[in-house]
């Protein structure tokens, strides 16, 4: 089979940008080829051009290609300062008259929302809370909904949380662990494309969108940021990745500390 050429890479980049606002740089040629090669083999196709033509006709295969080309690197309690801020600064001050709602807006295989769930369960006790976990990739959402992970994925989970909220697998699940069903009942998964108008999902006290904006150009970042702010409650928080910034995006939030922003007129009071 011929290796992927520049024109084919550009076509895949156009597909990803239209679907998810993600641009594939020329340096991603090997990544695109490596992730899609098995699909070409499985379908008996001799070229990436043939596969691209098939994507125009087959919506299911197009979604599969998007799933394969979406980066889903994650782990439990990634960027732990965010979880400390949630536990120590946000949760002690919440409005107890309503459920505390969090949106993990690029949840990948579920490690982020389940990490949030452990913190909420510990800090809020019997007070109501819920998490919406979404991703554009249906493949990782299916994995996340199971709540089952290889035991080595537990490496970054603090031991008290591991003991309280994780169950060691036995029998067919030996070498794995699962998230406590009590936490999973509070966590709802849904396929959402941040590059289009959002569905009716209500308002949130906190939105996590971490390590995703780096794949967007400035215009897409502005559009995504505007959509997120629309669903933030007054004084709600937005967490982005530590390597990301909302500077220059005209997003109506105020930085509390690097990678943590707050909506509303009282945003500056958060760091006092």
Q: How many CA atoms lie within 13 A of 118 on its CB side?
A: 26
6 is catalytic: no
Q: Are strands 232-239 and 129-135 parallel, antiparallel or unpaired?
A: unpaired
d(CA 238, CA 253): 8
Cα distances (angstroms) measured from residue 23 to each of 12, 69, 215: 9, 11, 7
The single residue of 67, 135, 205, 210 carrying the catalytic annotation is: 135
135 is catalytic: yes
| SS3 assignment, position 5 | coil
Distance of CA 165 to the CA centre of its chain: 21
Looking up tokens 């290609």 gives 65
The single residue of 35, 39, 62, 139 carrying the catalytic annotation is: 35
- Best CA proximity match to 252, nearest among 217, 228, 220: 228
Tokens of 62: 């197009």
Which residues are part of the catalytic machinery? 35, 135
């Amino acid at each position: 089979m011929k290796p992927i050429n520049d024109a084919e890479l550009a076509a895949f980049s156009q597909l990803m940008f239209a679907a998810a606002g993600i641009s594939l740089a020329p340096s991603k040629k090997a990544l695109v080829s490596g992730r899609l090669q098995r699909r070409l083999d499985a379908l008996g196709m001799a070229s990436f051009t043939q596969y691209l033509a098939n994507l125009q006709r087959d919506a299911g295969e197009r979604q599969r290609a998007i799933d394969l080309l979406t980066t889903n690197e994650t782990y439990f309690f990634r960027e732990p300062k965010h979880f400390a801020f949630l536990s120590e600064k946000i949760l002690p001050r919440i409005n107890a008259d309503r459920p505390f709602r969090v949106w993990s807006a690029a949840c990948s295989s579920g490690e982020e929302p389940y990490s949030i769930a452990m913190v909420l369960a510990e800090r809020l006790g019997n007070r109501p809370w819920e998490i919406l976990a979404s991703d554009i990739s249906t493949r990782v959402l299916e994995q996340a909904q199971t709540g089952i992970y290889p035991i080595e994925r537990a490496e970054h989970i603090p031991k008290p949380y591991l003991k309280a909220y994780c169950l060691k697998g036995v029998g067919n699940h030996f070498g794995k662990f699962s998230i406590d069903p009590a936490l999973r009942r509070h966590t709802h998964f849904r396929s959402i494309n941040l590059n289009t108008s959002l569905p009716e999902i209500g308002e949130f006290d906190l939105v996590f969108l971490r390590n995703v904006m780096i794949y967007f150009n400035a215009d897409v970042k502005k559009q995504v940021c505007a959509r997120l702010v629309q669903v933030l409650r007054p004084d709600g928080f937005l967490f982005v990745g530590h390597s990301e910034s909302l500077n220059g995006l005209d997003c109506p939030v105020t930085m509390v500390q690097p990678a943590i922003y707050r909506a509303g007129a009282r945003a500056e009071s958060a760091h006092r």
